[in-house]
Structure 1
Amino acid sequence: MAGITVRRRTAERRGPYVARAVAELRSWPALVVSDTRRGTVVAVRGTEILRLTGAAEVQVRLTAPAIDRLGPYLRDCDQVHACADRAWVAVQVDAEPDLELLLALTSVAIKAHVPAET
């Protein structure tokens, strides 16, 4: 008889600032925070806008036009890096200012994915 392997899902390891960001974002009414097999994701109106990709790294879906507009500022920021998909950037969240930057970029992502009300 073949052995059966049981895998226990271990808790996702998050750095303290990423954990604080997730706790904060759970209170934002426009967002849905879900714990999936791939990890924690944040969506607005059904569109994934944040992915927790490491203990201290979060990918943010800003859209290519928003990244182009913010490009000069993002290029000067050591904590932000381009992703293979041009609509996303990776943010390294190691300190309080990084947390504030992540929350600000999350606001940009929400605005980019929610149509303006007329």
Structure 2
Amino acid sequence: MAGITAWRRAAERRGPYVARAVAELRSWPALVVSDTRRGVAFAVSGTEILRTTGAVEVRVRLTAPAIDRLEPYLRECDQVQACSDRAWVAVQVDAEPDLELLLALASVAIKAHVP
């Protein structure tokens, strides 16, 4: 008789700053948290605005108009990269200042998506 093998998906590995960001963002009352197959996602007013995408990366949906307003500042920041979808940016979070930047951008994203 062949045995049955149960596969358990390994817990997503996140860097310490991304893990801290996720813990902090879980406490924000405006955000709804989803633990998805690809990582943790956060939504506001039914729209996903943040998602973890790697050990040190979080994607933030700022909207194209918000990105256009912040572009002079974001251009100077090596930790923020444009995504193919113009509404999103990828934030590399591997130090304390990056965590603070991510939380600030999360606040901008919330404001951009609340009616």
TM over 0.5: yes
Offset, 1:9:
1.1
CA distance in 1, matches of 2:13, 2:33: 16
TM-score, normalised relative to structure 2: 0.94
CA distance in 2, matches of 1:16, 1:113: 28
3-state SS of paired residue (2:27): coil
The alignment covers a number of residue pairs equal to 115
Identity of aligned residues (%): 87
Q: Report the residue type matching 1:110 in the other structure.
A: I
CA shift digits 1:23-81 (9 cap, x unpaired)? 00011000011111121101111110001000000000000000000000000000000
Q: Does 1:37 align with 2:43?
A: no
Aligned-residue Cα RMSD (Å) equals: 1.5
Q: Which residue of 1 aligns with 2:14?
A: 14
CA distance in 2, matches of 1:5, 1:71: 50
Q: Which residue of 2 aligns with 1:93?
A: 93
CA distance in 1, matches of 2:53, 2:37: 12
- Which runs of no fewer than 5 residues in structure 1 stay unpaired? none
Q: Report the residue type matching 2:49 in the other structure.
A: I
Q: Which residue of 1 aligns with 2:111?
A: 111
Q: Which residue of 2 aligns with 1:25?
A: 25
Give 1:64-103 correspondences, 5 Å limit: 64-103=64-103
Offset, 1:7:
3.0
Question: Structure 1 stretches (4+) deviating beyond 4 angstroms?
Answer: 2-6
- Which runs of no fewer than 5 residues in structure 2 stay unpaired? none
CA distance in 1, matches of 2:80, 2:92: 6
Q: Does 1:62 align with 2:85?
A: no
CA distance in 2, matches of 1:40, 1:87: 19
TM-score, normalised relative to structure 1: 0.92
